[in-house]
Amino acid sequence: MSPTVVPAIPAVHREVRLADQAEGELTAGHFTIVEVPVPVPEPGEVLVRTRVMAVTAAMRTQMTKVPLPMPSFVPGQALWGAAVGEVVAAPGGGFAPGELVHHPYGWREFAAV
C-alpha cells in the first residue's frame, strides 16, 4: 500500500457566507465568498479539508427570517451543515492524514474538528 500524499496547507481558505437573509428568489447576491485564515486545531482536534458539503431543502428556509425549530443562518457567518472532510493534520494523534471524517461546519474549505 502506498503512503497517502497530503497537499500543502495554505495560510488562507475560502468559506461561503450568507450576505443577507433571503426573501423571494435566491440569488448569488445573497452569498459572499471570503478568504480567512485556515483554522489551527486545538489539542484533541484535527484539521480537515472539506470534500463534500450537504445542500438540503431546509437550508433555503434557514436563510430567511422564518422562525424554525432549528438555528437559522446568520448574515455574515459561514453556512454550516453536514460535511465530509479529509484529515490533513492531526497534531494530537488519533487520526492519520488521508482519513475521512464527518463534521458540521459546512461550506468552507478547511475546518478544525
Spans of all domains in the chain? 12-112
- What does the pLDDT read at residue 5? 60
CA dist., res. 34 & res. 50, Å (int): 16
- Rounded Cα–Cα distance for residues 54 and 39 (Å): 21
Report how far apart, in Å, the C-alpha atoms of 84 and of each of 24, 65, 102 are: 30, 28, 4
Q: How far is CA 9 from the centre of its chain?
A: 16
Give me the pLDDT at residue 19, please.
97
CATH number for the domain running over 12-112: 3.90.180.10
pLDDT on residue 2: 53
Write out the chain's pLDDT in tens, 113 residues: 555 565 689 999 999 999 999 888 899 999 999 999 999 999 899 999 999 999 998 999 999 988 889 899 999 999 999 999 999 999 877 899 999 999 999 999 999 99
Position 35 scores a pLDDT of: 98
Q: Give the total residue count for the chain.
A: 113
How much is the pLDDT for 95?
92
The predicted model scores a pTM of: 0.86
Strands (E), 65-113: 83-89, 100-103, 110-112
